[in-house]
Amino acid sequence: MYGYVCIHDFTKGGKKMSLIKNLFIAAAPFVLAACLSAHSQAVASPSTRSEENKWLEVQIYRLALDPRTNQPVVLLSDPMEERVMPIWIGQFEANALQSERMDLPAPRPQTHDLFAAVMEKAKLKVLRVEITHIKANTYYASMWIESGDSLIEVDSRPSDALVMALKFEAPMFIAKSLFMDKSLPLHKEEDEEEEEDGDLWYEDPGLPI
């Protein structure tokens, strides 16, 4: 059961508790906005950082399933679709990515839907996402969130960052050195044959990310 929580008042002060609950829900987006705004003062804009030329814009080439582990894989490609970098993700995140790509909203808000709705209420926007590095077989990413005239960098799993990028139509970037190290040449004819056979990426999937 996802998407809603039923709250029942069992005391005579139910109306008072309901009012407090409603005030808390109404104030939540603005509390989030205030916290992010306070944090943003210490963070530099990605467009002003000296390492900006180290980033490569990528796109989601497709979602696949590793037949050895039965684990979803998101394939990220360069703009020319010459190379792809596979990242093994969790089933929930794979479903969220597929829903966004196919424009198939859930009957009730899921976790990423809820987070996006809160951000929109607080007038926040995902400006871009970056997959920055890998450590102990786990990829790390950042989301850059626009709050008024400020930008806030938020640590994120790559899978969550990609879902939010799709929701806000934000560009996706990978560190060029990371992409060249972890990506594979994309031969479309071979790729189509592999897709038909279901015989996909046999590298170490590591942990869901």
Q: What is the mean pLDDT of residues 39-65?
A: 71
Question: Whole-angstrom Cα distance, residue 195 to residue 184?
Answer: 16
pLDDT bucket at 158, cuts 50 / 70 / 90: very high
Structure tokens at 144: 């850059």
Query: Residue 116 pLDDT more than 60?
Result: yes
Do residues 175 and 131 touch, judged by C-beta distance below 8 A?
yes
Give the CATH fold of the 55-197 domain.
Answer: Bifunctional nuclease domain (3.10.690)
pTM above 0.75, yes or no: no
Question: Whole-angstrom Cα distance, residue 141 to residue 137?
Answer: 13
In DSSP terms, 141 is beta-bridged to 131, 156
User: Tell me: the pLDDT tens digits for 159-194?
Assistant: 999 999 999 999 999 999 999 999 999 876 455 555
Which three-class secondary structure state does DSSP give residue 7? coil
What stretch of H or E contains 2? none
Cα-Cα end-to-end distance for the chain: 23
